[in-house]
Amino acid sequence: MKTYLDCISCFFRQGLDAARMTTEDEKIQKKILDEIAMIVPKFPLNSTPPEMGRIIHKIVCKFTNSSDPYKKVKDKYNKEALKFYPELKKKTREAKDPLLVAIKIAIAGNVIDFGVNEVKNKIDIEKELKNTLKQDSAIFDYDKLKNFLEKTEEILYLGDNAGEIVFDRILIEELQKKVIYVVREKPIINDVTIEDALFAGIDKIAKVISSGCDAPGTILRYCSKEFLNHYYKAELIISKGQGNYETLSEEKRPIFFLLKAKCPIIAKDLGCRVRDIILKTQSLK
Amino acid sequence: MKTYLDCISCFFRQGLDAARMTTEDEKIQKKILDEIAMIVPKFPLNSTPPEMGRIIHKIVCKFTNSSDPYKKVKDKYNKEALKFYPELKKKTREAKDPLLVAIKIAIAGNVIDFGVNEVKNKIDIEKELKNTLKQDSAIFDYDKLKNFLEKTEEILYLGDNAGEIVFDRILIEELQKKVIYVVREKPIINDVTIEDALFAGIDKIAKVISSGCDAPGTILRYCSKEFLNHYYKAELIISKGQGNYETLSEEKRPIFFLLKAKCPIIAKDLGCRVRDIILKTQSLK
């Protein structure tokens, strides 16, 4: 997905939000916004929004001497999400269609996204879960996914956010396949890194690798050879969240995007409404 | 009110909205946002948001060769608001406290503000009126206003937006005083100019003058001598809307601000919640 003009105002919101998490000094916060402003005229719109997300993060880190502004928020939501694990496990096991419930749980977790939400707005995970489980969707390629699962032994699973990763675990366990779980190379917004995968116990049920990319998405030209090797041979890729969708939506690979559409721009791009839950694959040859 | 860091992202939203109203050319729209981006690092935060609103408007006009991007929208809402006039007149006349109802009507009209709203979001005037008339408010200096009215023969009334001006007329008629109604010097967003005052028939019930200022607010250093003369001798000033509040909130004059708080930043500045209706005067010596 290209960067829409509407994304530009959001870059400043995102930058300010990250700045406020690391410093209370208004002058530094303003400097960060000024630096983003100086990048905007040079930023080509055919780049994807996570390209700018990556730049913003570097600016914030540079001016605040922080390498991980969202560390506390990530820890908080990891811990909070983990509390739901036993209940969700039970819910999945008792369901008529456990895979469908596990998919919806994984999508519900995608609401824990501070690229879109402001950190000050507390996310009500319980309410989100309840709503998502009973929510229908206009874009839900569930039968296609089941067809792919029948023919596939190994799944490349692109993780998205801390907290959300606990809900990914429910789905991975339900898939009953060999899974390679992919995290970001370095901390970026509240995206998953290796530490989050270890915290959520993903290493016990999947092989965990880094994409090599330090953007809040999967920008292939920044990815490691190891990741690309898996990516190009994968017969089934599950891609979580907006950032991965934004960076891979035009790829011709067997990708199933699982996400909650959280902003009007991505909803427009997907052809759905804000807050819709999405399981979407592109038409493959 | 100073410019908060949160206002910066909103400048880009406002610029894009105005750009889209005048051209469908994405390249020109991007140029407008780039130009705003180049201004941001030079823009001092102790300026008020309408200072930037003024700059954005000039940028939009320059790149689109338009002098009045909101002309159509202004005409549309003027006409729509006028349809409500007979019904509102009746409602006021039949009310137990006609002045109170007229004030609430004038505040309800303040929702027709495209500095805050995106033009694509249609404003439901009828619903807004209904809700405002039964709405209570934490900041409502009605008794103080009545005290001032008892001692005052002439009121300086600072208008805000097209459409809204019809609702101002209801209040002006109810005040039963000599009123000087102030419009902006030139078209800026959907703010009132002399044409709107004539359309709404304000000239039949008040003296209409221009502030001399071409910002979406009342920035005193841009105002005309004629206006300043009225301003400094006025015993009672009614100031409509966010732009006038943002530019005059720190003034020590007998001003009563009538507005609907439409963004979280102004709500924070006022100490109220978004969507609250406000009738506020500052503590005067």
- Measure in Å the smallest separation between the Cα of B263 and chain A Cα atoms: 14
**Interface contacts A/B by beta carbons within 8 Å:** 54
Quote the minimal CA–CA distance from B271 to chain A in Å: 18
Cβ contact (<8 Å) for B40 and A26?
A: no
- Interface contact B6, partner A, CB < 8 A: yes
**What is the rounded average pLDDT for all residues in chain B?**
94
Phi, psi of B223 (to 5 degrees): -80, 155
What CA–CA distances, in Å, run from B273 to B1, B68, B115, B129, B196? Answer: 17, 32, 19, 18, 30
Dist CA B100 CA B111 (whole Å): 18
Exposure class string for A198-223: b at 16+ Cβ within 10 A, else e: ebbebeeebebbbbbbbbbbbbeebb
- Alpha-carbon distance of B262 to B188, in angstroms, equals 19
A118 near B CB under 8 A = no
Mean pLDDT, residues B41-55: 96
Reported confidence tier of residue B285, pLDDT bands at 50, 70, 90: very low
In this prediction, residue A283 carries a pLDDT of 63
Q: Quickly state the pLDDT bin for A118 (edges 50, 70, 90).
A: confident
Task: Give the E-state strand segments of A50-204 in sequence order.
Answer: 154-158, 178-183
**CB interface of B with A, residues 71-110, below 8 Å:** none
User: B78: which 2 tokens?
Assistant: 């003027």
A44 touching chain B per CB within 8 A: no
Summarised one tens digit per residue, pLDDT across range A4-60 is 999 999 999 999 999 999 999 999 999 999 999 999 999 999 999 999 999 999 999
Across the interface, whether the CB atoms of A5 and B26 are under 8 A apart is answered: yes
Q: Which of B9, B29, B40 sits opposite A5 (nearest CB)?
A: B29
Residue A31, pLDDT score? 97
Q: Which residue of A has its CA nearest to B39?
A: A37
Q: Is B198 on the interface with A (CB under 8 A)?
A: no
C-alpha span between A255 and A281 (Å, rounded): 6
Q: Sorting pLDDT into bands at 50, 70 and 90, what band is A285?
A: very low
Average pLDDT of every residue of chain A:
94
Cβ–Cβ contact B45 with A under 8 A: yes
A5-64 carries CATH number 3.10.530: no
> What are the residues whose beta carbons fall under 8 Å from the beta carbon of B79, sequence distance 6 or more?
none
Q: Both tokens of residue B61?
A: 């006009």
pLDDT by residue (tens digit) across A142-167?
Answer: 999 999 999 999 999 999 999 999 99
Residue B199 has pLDDT above 80, yes or no: yes
Q: Say yes or no to pLDDT of A116 above 80.
A: no
B6·A16 Cβ contact <8 A:
yes
Q: Is B40 on the interface with A (CB under 8 A)?
A: yes
What backbone phi and psi angles, to 5 degrees, belong to B134?
Answer: -105, 5
The pLDDT confidence band at residue A115, using thresholds 50, 70 and 90, is confident
Q: Any CB–CB contact under 8 A between B118 and chain A?
A: no
Residue in A9, A26, A45 closest to B30 by CB:
A45
pLDDT at A37 (0 to 100): 98
Cβ atoms within 10 Å, residue A81: 24
Question: What does the domain layout of chain A look like in residue ranges?
Answer: 5-64, 71-281
pTM: 0.91
d(C-alpha A176, C-alpha A154), whole Å:
10
Per-residue pLDDT for A282 more than 90?
A: no
State ipTM. Answer: 0.89
Q: Does B203 touch chain A (CB under 8 A)?
A: no
The CATH code belonging to domain B71-281 is 3.40.50.10880
> CA-nearest residue of chain B to A25?
B5
d(CA B275, CA B278): 9
Best mutation target, B2, B7, B8, B56, to test chain A (most A CBs within 10 A): B8
- Report pLDDT for A106: 97
Q: How confident is the model at residue B128 (pLDDT cuts 50, 70, 90)?
A: confident
| Locus of tokens 């789905």 | A171
Confidence of residue A284 (pLDDT cuts 50, 70, 90): low
- Under the banding of pLDDT at 50, 70 and 90, the label for residue B168 is very high
Element (H, E) at B73: helix B71-93
Say which residue the tokens 């003034």 belong to: B251
